[in-house]
Amino acid sequence: MRVPGGVKHAKRRRKVLRLAKGFKGKRKSCYRIAKQAVVKALVHQYTSRRLRKRDMRRLWIIRIGAAARGQGLSYSKFMGGLRKAGVGLNRKVLADLAVHDPEAFSQLAKVAREAIGA
């Protein structure tokens, strides 16, 4: 006995077209084209989530480096000094301190300078 699969078929297509909402032209209304567009969009979304982490780390390093140069240290000397001193702050926190609390950052720079013996 044959069971028609119309409900599942329609549901699957409806799901794809719902995901394609907001796309331009046939990409939002024609199932075949919408399906390709949705797959491509989801791939880009996945990739961009990983790229964002990379971009944020780069931004933090730039901010820390700029603030460290203001204290007379290079980025690598500053980070090396903090590591030797046993300061366990990550780049995100250090960048935030560099931007919002320069006094605390200068204290950290002093600690790093003492640890490397400069």
The model's pLDDT over 53-76, given as tens digits with 9 standing for 90+, comes to 999 999 999 999 999 999 999 999
Report the distance separating Cα 93 and Cα 101, nearest Å: 11
Residues, the chain: 118
Mean pLDDT of the chain: 95
- Cβ distance 20 to 32 under 8 Å? no
Q: Where are the domains of the chain?
A: 6-116
Percentage of the residues of the chain whose pLDDT score is greater than 70: 99
What is the C-alpha end-to-end distance of the chain, expressed in Å? 85
The amino acid that residue 71 corresponds to is: Q
pTM for the complete prediction? 0.78
CATH T-level assignment (fold) for domain 6-116:
c-terminal domain of poly(a) binding protein (1.10.1900)
Cα angle for residues 53, 58, 59 (degrees, 5° grid): 100
DSSP state letter for 24: -
- pLDDT at position 13, please? 96
How far CA 43 is from CA of 49, 83, 85, in Å, comes to 10, 38, 43
